[in-house]
Amino acid sequence: MTDPSLPEVVRIASDLIRFDTSNFGGGNAKGEREAAQYVGAYLEGLGLAVEYYEPIPRRTNVMARVPGRDRDKPALVVHGHLDVVPAMAEDWSVDPFAGLVRDGMLWGRGAVDMKNMNAMILTSVAEILRAGEQPERDLVLAFFADEENGGVEGSALVVQNRPEWFEGATAAISEVG
C-alpha cells in the first residue's frame, strides 16, 4: 500500500510499477492487461468513457477522449506505454516491482520509463477536470502495449484496427516530445 500522504502522482506511479508488465521482446511479455485496467478505472473515475483494445491476449491498450472547449480544433494525442523492459531482481537493491518510496525517491522498473510519465498524464488531466475546466481542444489519451518491442503488438495494431481512436488528431506528444 502506498502512503496516502504522498502526492497523487507518486501514488499512481507507485501503483503502476507494481504491475509487472515486463516485455522480453518477440511476443514474449507478461502483458499489460492489469495496468491498462487500472488506468481505465482511473479515467472512468474522472467521468471519461474508456475503450480497450486487446488484439493479442493480455496485450491491452486503453484510450479515452477528453472533450475540448473548441471541438473544431484538431485533437492532440497524449500517449504513453504500459510495458517495461525486464528487471532482474538480483541486480536491484529493492524489489523492482514494489514501487517503493525511499530516501525521497520512487524506486522500481518504470519509475523513469514510463510509468512516471503515465502518472503525470493522468494526474494532469485529473487536475483540469476536477477544477471543472476543459482543455482548449480534444485530448486523446492513449496508453499502449508493447512499446519496448517497437509497438508491434500495441500501437501498430491500434492504428491499423482502431483508427477512429485518433479521429481529428493532427499531433501527438509523449515521453520524448
Catalytic residues: 83, 147
Q: How far is CA 117 from CA 13, 97, 120, 161, in A?
A: 8, 17, 5, 26
Scored b (16 or more CB within 10 A) or e, 4-20 reads eeeeebbbbbbbbbbbb
CB atoms within 10 A of CB 66: 21
Sequence-separated contacts (24+) of 48-56 with Cβ below 8 Å: 48/129, 48/141, 51/162, 51/165, 53/157, 53/158, 53/161, 53/162, 53/165, 55/153, 55/157, 55/158, 55/161, 56/27, 56/153, 56/157
Rounded to whole angstroms, what are the CA distances from 19 to 12, 33, 46, 108?
Answer: 11, 9, 22, 11
